[in-house]
A and B are shown apart, each in its own frame.
Chain A
Amino acid sequence: MLVLSRRQGQAIVIGDNVVVRVVELKGDQVRLGIDAPRSVIVHREEIAEEIAAENRAARQAESVNLADLPLPMPRKKTDETVTGSPGGG
């Protein structure tokens, strides 16, 4: 692991296309500016943790009758092009 220190306004460059700049320091918060191509996935670490926790919560131990779950609000007929079975059938 590389550990280094930066001052406000300074940046680190990762590979050829990613620049992470310290934009602002305020108390115990750091505001970062991330300049990366669209193909690079950037997200806050705790988001993945939150999704993992919710995945575990979604695992169905109990028997659930799908027909008992809430239905979508009725919508106009013209929206039908965006619906369909997940997985594309």
Chain B
Amino acid sequence: MHEIEHETADGEAMTMVSIDSRRFGTIEVDEKSLFEFADGLLGLEESTRSLVLVEQDDTPYFWLHSATDPDVAFVVTDPWLFWPDYDILIPDEVEEELGLTGPEDVGVMVLVSIRPAQSDGAPTVTANLLGPLVVSSSTRRGRQLVLDNARYSARQRIGA
């Protein structure tokens, strides 16, 4: 990750960071757009402390890319697009840690796994509803929650 100083039209200092990605080549993003996960994602702590959301038009999915490891990227989505009844309880200590100011400050995304089809069929696409990522859009801090909720699965099927 390299830093480059820029100045916006209104004179505000903006630090661009360039992120190496095996998938996208080199991408330049505003440093302020990075999400900082103090503890990273479970099982992948080292490469997932700093993440950036890469949008793609016309799909409900996004790429969540590691800012430090070119090989680490995830497909994520908004769980409420697929499961309107999904609910999560954000513990007070997480609320404090992330500096969440209110419901409009909370962003929630879930990781999507794509497993290749056995034969010629469609790949199996699942979302991890047990470990949602919660971020603050103002502080840009995030944490993966661990829900102990029998209603949800770590491999919830998307599509038929």
Decide: A83 and B146 in contact? CB cutoff 8 A.
no
Chain A contact surface mostly: loop
A37-50, CB under 8 A of B: which get 1 and which 0? Answer: 11111111001101
Cα–Cα distance between A73 and B85 once the two chains are bound (Å): 13
Report the minimum CB–CB distance from A50 to chain B (whole Å). 5
| Nearest-neighbor residue (CB-CB) of B155 within chain A | A54
Decide: B146 and A47 in contact? CB cutoff 8 A.
yes
Cα–Cα distance between A52 and B48 once the two chains are bound (Å): 12
B55-88, CB under 8 A of A: which get 1 and which 0? Answer: 1101111110000000111111110111010000
- How many contacts between A and B, using CB within 8 angstroms? 142
Interface residues on B, range: 35 or more
| Nearest-neighbor residue (CB-CB) of B71 within chain A | A61
What are 18 inter-chain pairs, A to B, with CB distance below 8 A? Answer: A37-B92, A39-B92, A51-B42, A51-B146, A54-B130, A54-B154, A57-B115, A60-B75, A61-B71, A66-B63, A67-B56, A70-B125, A70-B159, A71-B159, A79-B84, A86-B107, A86-B109, A87-B53
Hey, which bits of chain B sit against chain A, CB under 8 A?
23, 35, 41-44, 53, 55-56, 58-63, 71-78, 80-82, 84, 89, 91-94, 104-109, 111-116, 125, 128, 130-131, 133, 135, 137, 144, 146-148, 154-155, 158-160
Hey, which bits of chain A sit against chain B, CB under 8 A?
37-44, 47-48, 50-64, 66-67, 69-73, 75, 79, 82-89
